[in-house]
Amino acid sequence: DVNALFGVSSGTSMSVSDIAGKVSESVQTLGEDAKSALLTQLQQSAEQAKALAKQQLRSSLLAPLNELQARANDLLAQVNNGSILVLGTVVDSLGISGFTSATLNPGVAGLPNFATFGLTDYKMEFAPPTNGSKFSRLTTLGATVIATQAWTLTGSISVTSFALSVLMSTDTAGNRKFSGSVSGSVALGKFVFGLVVPFNQPGKNLEFMLPQVTVGGV
């Protein structure tokens, strides 16, 4: 599950204030005390869900090195049996002269073979035609690119997991919005660090996760 492993957004989401506004519109028949209690409960549930998702993401990105390596091996096995569509396959299928899957392998120390990167979590939504048009409007387009194998940056520093998510959404006025995130894990020897870099996602901030150190059982 890409969403769980890398904290990738599953699409357009509502903030706590948005939810509160919608509920407030729908429960006008309730008394003020009941309405306030319901909104408070919803806000608490939303905050708890947000905290749980954050903890799950931390656990995923800061998993033990052997677990991350096993996860990478599983992804590579899925690539080999054809379960995951990779960039190299897409490029080769285009049949562009001089641009093949081999081009995606820079062969430079510290860089991965991009041909082995997988495409997943596709999103494509259309809206009915408007203004007399006969064609539907593309309102949502997105995908996530994941590394299906680890690669070494230099020495004992390696990228053990990586995901790049991009989402384009278009509102009824035709305005387009691009958002997404970069997330993954980097191993320095046996120590694992996590990183999440969201862009154009209100309420989400850059996170650099340090490995938890236990001293004296605490």
Write out the two tokens for 94. Answer: 């285009």
Instruction: Find the mean pLDDT for residues 11-26.
Output: 53
pLDDT tens track for 63-118: 888 888 888 888 888 888 888 889 999 999 988 888 999 999 988 888 888 998 98
pLDDT tens track for 148-175: 888 899 888 999 989 999 999 888 777 8
More confident: 95 or 132: 95
What's the chain's average pLDDT? Answer: 79
Sequence-ordered list of residues with C-beta below 8 angstroms from that of 144, at least 6 positions apart, any chain: 2, 6, 8, 119, 120, 121, 163, 164, 165, 166
pLDDT tens track for 44-55: 776 776 666 677
Instruction: Give residue 218's pLDDT band: very low, low, confident or very high (50, 70, 90).
Output: very low
Dihedral angle, C-alpha 11, 17, 20, 21, nearest 10 °? -90
Residue 12 has pLDDT above 50, yes or no: no
Bridge partner list, 165: 144, 181
pLDDT attached to residue 30 = 61
Residue 11 has pLDDT above 60, yes or no: no
pLDDT attached to residue 173 = 78
The CA-CA-CA angle for residues 105, 196, 42, to 5°, reads 140
Q: What does the alpha-carbon distance between residue 85 and residue 11 come to, in Å, rounded to a whole number? A: 21
Distance from CA of residue 40 to its chain's centroid? 29
More confident: 178 or 22: 178
E strand map for 65-190: 85-86, 118-127, 137-146, 151-154, 157-170, 176-188
125-152: b (≥16 Cβ within 10 Å) or e: eeeeeeeeeeeeeebebbbbbbbbbbbe
pTM of the model: 0.70
Are 159 and 188 in contact by the 8 Å Cβ rule? The answer is no
Are 165 and 144 in contact by the 8 Å Cβ rule? The answer is yes
Q: Which of 24, 45, 43, 44 is nearest to 35 (CA)?
A: 24
Residue 200 has pLDDT above 70, yes or no: yes
